């Protein structure tokens, strides 16, 4: 049976995000360079797993053909991202595959990032001193837009994680310092704090001073989080606070500190700093990990993991690996 005949009955059916992400990962592998004979066989096996897999691949390759229709500046930006920020490129392709034609048009017509915005690539961290003296550290794969005017000092965290140490405003009328996230706004009350964007939630940990959280859909709910506490909030509510763990921001020094961290969580954290896709086999997800691990060399960290825990790293390709049983 031909590919077209096999796909026809399911042409309008939805494809799972997991399979679309896998298709995008394979696409980036091809974009990086020719596949080995073994990788080509693995790709063929992946495509033949189901009609859904084959449809995802057809959609992914069709999307790549549309990149030539981008404006010159947009195409150049996409090429730069795909080479420097592999995981971000995979997410972009997967997002466009899920969004469909409407999402593609929105992406095509949207402005590309300019030099005035603050960005880090996967695995990169940046320390920045803002015009008002505030110290800002961006973690891996983080996007921040700044909006300082006479009325307020505002950072918009589009994705990723930041550490902020606010400075006293020198303006005649001190301006509030705010961090905007998808779920609402965070107001600094003379403070040092970290913000991490999660799926549908933002997590805030306060180490000095205090912050005020206001959910977007319930602005009348203003919750103050003092030093030594942390909380997460959605668009509708603020979760109960808990003790803030300063080791959670060891990333600012290029380290990941784990204290009996479940293997699945540990691998997910490493995946944030590594180009490509790193997964955890459910068979080892419940193992715990303790220690201090370097984030500047994920290959070294994975080697240390294999030496200290009963696990083995299995590579599908340069950018796709799984931590499984030894």
Least confident range from 3-12, 34-43, 55-64, 83-92: namely 3-12
All residues at 6 or more sequence positions from 40 whose CB lies less than 8 Å from its CB, including other chains: none
Give residue 68's pLDDT: 42
Average pLDDT, the chain: 81
231-263 per-position pLDDT tens digit: 999 999 999 999 998 889 999 988 999 989 999
More confident residue, 204 or 61: 204
Among all chains, which residue has been given the structure tokens 């294999």? 306
288-323 per-position pLDDT tens digit: 998 888 898 898 899 889 988 999 999 988 889 999
What CA dihedral angle connects 30, 318, 83 and 23, to 10 degrees?
50
High-pLDDT (> 70) share of the chain, %: 78
Calculate mean pLDDT across residues 218-226: 89
The CA–CA distances, whole Å, from 213 to 24, 35, 86, 143, 147 equal: 36, 49, 33, 20, 19
Flag whether pLDDT at 9 surpasses 50.
no
Flag whether pLDDT at 90 surpasses 70.
no
Calculate mean pLDDT across residues 92-111: 50
Calculate mean pLDDT across residues 77-81: 40
Q: pLDDT-derived band of residue 61, with 50, 70 and 90 as boundaries?
A: confident
């Amino acid at each position: 049976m031909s590919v077209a005949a096999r796909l026809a009955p399911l042409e309008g059916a939805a494809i799972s995000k997991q399979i679309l992400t896998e298709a995008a990962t394979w696409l980036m592998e091809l974009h990086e360079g020719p596949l080995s004979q073994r990788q080509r066989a693995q790709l063929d096996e992946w495509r033949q797993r189901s009609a859904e897999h084959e449809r995802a691949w057809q959609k992914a390759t069709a999307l790549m053909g549309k990149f030539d229709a981008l404006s010159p500046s947009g195409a150049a930006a996409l090429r730069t991202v795909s080479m420097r920020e592999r995981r971000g490129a995979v997410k972009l392709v997967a997002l466009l595959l899920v969004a469909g034609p409407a999402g593609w048009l929105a992406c095509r017509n949207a402005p590309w990032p300019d030099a005035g915005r603050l960005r880090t690539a996967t695995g990169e961290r940046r320390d920045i001193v803002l015009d008002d003296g505030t110290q800002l550290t961006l973690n891996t794969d983080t996007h921040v837009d700044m909006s300082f005017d006479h009325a307020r000092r505002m950072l918009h965290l589009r994705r990723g994680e930041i550490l902020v140490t606010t400075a006293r405003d020198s303006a005649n009328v001190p301006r509030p310092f705010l961090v905007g996230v998808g779920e609402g706004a965070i107001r600094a009350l003379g403070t040092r704090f970290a913000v991490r964007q999660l799926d549908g939630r933002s997590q805030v940990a306060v180490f000095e001073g205090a912050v005020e959280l206001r959910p977007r859909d319930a602005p009348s709910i203003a919750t103050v989080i003092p030093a030594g506490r942390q909380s997460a909030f959605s668009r509708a509510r603020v979760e109960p606070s808990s003790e803030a763990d300063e080791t959670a921001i060891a990333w600012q020094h290029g380290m990941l500190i784990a204290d009996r961290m479940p293997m699945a969580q540990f691998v997910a954290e490493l995946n944030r700093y590594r180009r490509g896709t790193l997964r955890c086999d459910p068979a080892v997800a419940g193992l715990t990990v303790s220690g201090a691990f370097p984030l500047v060399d994920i290959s070294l960290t994975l080697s240390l993991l294999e030496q200290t825990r009963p696990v083995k790293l299995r590579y599908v390709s340069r950018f796709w690996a799984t931590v499984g049983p030894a």
